[in-house]
Structure 1
Amino acid sequence: MGLIGEAERIYEKLLGAGLNPDMACYQTMLRGYMDYGHVEEGIKFFEQISESVEADRFILSAAVHFYKSVGKGLEAENVLHSMSNLGISFLENLEVGSKLKAKSPISEPI
């Protein structure tokens, strides 16, 4: 899993030491899952933190994108509804797997 695996290892070590992650830590973990297309891990992480963290625009928007990318429309709509109720706007420009797509070779016309 490369860098994602290393980030998870450090995150678990932080928790094991009795430290509490901050918002930047949560956002960084979700950004990694988002950028490298680790959707199931991103959903699992979001669901773990959603009960104990007052999520922000990025975290909630990332959750919507994760849910939509695996066909969990109801879950995505529930998060969008929560965002609307909280007056939080949705970040449409996030893209699952954006770093993977950026590394794809560009084929040139012959």
Structure 2
Amino acid sequence: MALRVLTSDVKSSLNGSTFLYHSSIEEQEPPPPLRSYLCLTIFTCFCPAYPINIVALVFSIMSRNSYDRGDYDGSRRLGRNALYVAVASIIIGLLVIAILCAVQFTSDF
């Protein structure tokens, strides 16, 4: 007869078949929450800083794709970049609006 070596997580039944205990498999912790700032970047698309807010939207979509692939650190980094670029887009858009209003109201007809 052949001798069988049993580990702590493998048990043998009476008929000779083996099975694994599921209690030895550690439960995976849930993934961190997604922070892609997609709503903010869509809102920035209405600001008049078009090349910059499109970059924020691309970062946000890339963040969601990284999260779906399981790359949580990359998703967090891309989401943070999307936030920074979206805030910069809002500030630049407000400056453009302020400059256009100042030029429009101070010009002579």
Q: Flag the structure with higher strand content.
A: 2
| TM-score, reference length from structure 1 | 0.28
Q: What is the TM-score when the length of structure 2 is the normalising length? A: 0.28
Query: Which of the two has higher C-alpha Rg?
Result: 2
**Could you say which structure has the higher helix fraction?**
1
